[in-house]
Structure 1
Amino acid sequence: MMTQSPPLLSLQSPKDVSLEEIEAELNQIWQANRTGEEGTVATRATTFTMVIYESEETQQLLAALGFYQGPIDGIIGSDTVEAIKAAQKAYGFEETGNPTREFLDRLRSAYQQAQQQADFSNNHQKYVYDGDGSAIADAIAAANPCRIITLYPTAGEDEGVSAQVSAYCPIQKQGSNSLVCCEYINLTGTAEALERIGGMVSALMVSELPKFIWWKATPNPEYGLFQRLSEYSDIIIIDSSTFADPEGELECIGKLLSEGMIFADLNWRRLAAWQELTAEAFDPPERRSALNQVDRVTIDYEKGNPAQTLMFLGWLASRLQWQPTSYEYEGGDYDIRRVKFVNDEQKEVEAELAGIPTEAGEIPGDLISLRLSSTNLEADCCTVLCSETTGCMRMEAGGGAQSCRIQQVTPLFDQKTEQLLTKQLQRWGREVLYKESMKLTYDMLKLRH
């Protein structure tokens, strides 16, 4: 679903400038607009800087169409070149490995056609193309006027970095004569070219204000620009619902967290209702004592992206002091994953994660249902949670002789990226619960190797 851009008043439409002219051009915009029409005063925001590293479009489309399974990082390596050649062959282009403008247009057309026909059989929505970035940035700017620096990695020849500046103001309620405005800096070039100007990007972040990095590509600790920006930022924002390789990328995030880097995952926020209801189910004293009897966990999620499921299981394990001992991928129609733990009494706990083929929702990989139970049929610990939109039939069917507490999870209304991002921009710093949960998720995923 496309994000609706809020009404914005343009002080300066996108203007091409040289890299050296960026700050001078922005200063000139504010000098020229100190007093606008009808006495309106426009001032630049002094709130924070947000740097957005966009996903490279060619890689996104190749992944969404099933030609590419590597990282979406804008770095055009051999795997990307081979994917380009495969797509060029499929769509009748010369197999050069060079993504021309005509080829990119053909990929866009193929993706739109596949969307209309719901034809993602080759890839089953493992990766969802994100074509909504600028509208989300506008929504953020309207709610939080700031300086936004957007980096657009491109495929093709390295021709340096081009720059644009612009300024927009959220339209105020009638009667207000003061506009607090957002300034945009857009930098476009290959990943290598953007890496070369990493020092300039850091310098463009306002030093006295909070600095957020919204990294929309695959986190790559070997990429120099990622390293540099992470050193200069207060927090790196990601959304694991967009990961092309959820297991590999979550493992990477877990490792970086263990090394002291600070992340916030918007997809983690979407688990709040499930976490709260799971904890609430064991609030009664008579059930709290049965928690250590839980030794079976079953989680269903929308097939395609297990990130939410893996983070939820990491959260559950961290709260119950389970330590992972094995991680197996069985595959099949339900992409079955089995994870084993031992609890603090050295009793084995088994978890089954199942990707349920279903019509894709707005968020790839949303949880569908959860069941906590015990092999001890006398234990009063059976708990079933399920999404309000899907029902609990599959989980209830495995109830056996146990009496299960069943509850539906009402989806929250603030799960969209722009809403979660707006809230995240009001906080920064390390979140202990997320870090502790991701440590267990990281420990699980390391067992794959």
Structure 2
Amino acid sequence: MASHALLLLGFFLTLRTTRALAPHFSISAPLRFERPLETRHVLMSEGPSPDEWREFRQRLITRGLPLTSEDGVEEPSRAEGEGQVQRQSVAPANEALLAQQNAKLFEEYMNGAWAHVSPLEAGGLACRLPLQAQLTEQMRQQPLALSNDDDLAVSESDTLGTRLQKMLLRELPAVADGGADKRAELEKTWNQNSAYCFRLADRLLIESLQGVAARATDGKIDARSLKPHESQLVQLYQESQEEWQQVVLVLGVDGSQAEGVALNRPLGRGINAQLAQLLLSGELSSTEAAAAADDFMLAFGREGAVYVGGPSKQREGGLLVHGFGHLEGAVEVSPGTRIYRGGALAAIDAVKSGELSPLDFRWFVGRQTGISTAEAGWSAVACARPLALKQCLGLPKPLWHEVLELCGGDLAVWSQIELMKRTDLDTP
């Protein structure tokens, strides 16, 4: 949505510039300007910073594109204050916990915590969707409205998305008047009912998995006996369980795949000497890590927060993530995000001196790799940095739900459905 709006904005800016520089031309003859177009070379330093672009994109998505009159004055299309974005509170208990853990980050969160769907990008988030939501999105990628009832028969070559679509079509009520057009309109309406589609996908999963389990011998299933869609289902199911409700901070994107660290997989609080060596070895040589180990334990030993970033690269040492660009050795994950990695020695000194707290930092072991939105298993999200930097230790409301509900739309629907399954949470 944001990219389309920016393209539209670029078009209007180009059109306005053309009108200003060439106010007079004849339509009946080939276009000919009465004076040559002026060329303005814009330096990068004259444009907005990456941080300002991120903020502009967020405002554009939530507020829309402001309209201007021919003289460049913004048209008063809204009453005073109307259309302004109000801070959305989706997890009050989480906010209270953040206030106790990090006063400055809490203030930043309260001044505007936001999240919206975006392309995969460094410094953004990737949220693992439930398998039912993934199948719903795959179904929505199918062409609408099959031509007749004969097409509703399930074939061996049907993907899970196609099977779900046919299940939906079989449930449509009979159409007395309007024919194919009316049926297509009805399908579109049902297709966009996210809560209904989620439950329909849940039914498909249960029926399909029961069919696979029924062929087990002594509790084992011969993979060679599985049909193509069953093999696909088993693989997707296994992946969805292993990555259940992960919220990943994206560190880099290579083509259509991303790599990052899971923010909501805490290993615990407190760091022993062996873990300290592993964490430091991600940034320092073995000699440097050994020399810094005692100071590290003094700074982070009792209060340091460590997370399992993912199953890959766990032997490559730790990764430090924080929000302090002034620390020596810190590198911004992506320009404008104000989220940084590295700077372990400076972080140790800052905590020892009392300048910063251990809970101002997050340590990670391992990476989550191969993240892709192509199969609809992950949703990429841009967010305000407090969501990525705050600790996930004993959150009353899981971070996954907090992020999805801030995004709104289908993501909020998926969150609410999954939240209703939880009996261990007593917070809204």
Give the TM-score category using the shorter length: under 0.3
Larger helix proportion, structure 1 or 2? 2
Q: Which has the larger radius of gyration?
A: 2
Structure with more relative contact order (C-alpha pairs < 8 Å, separation 6 or more): 2
Q: Scaled by the length of structure 2, what TM-score is found? A: 0.25
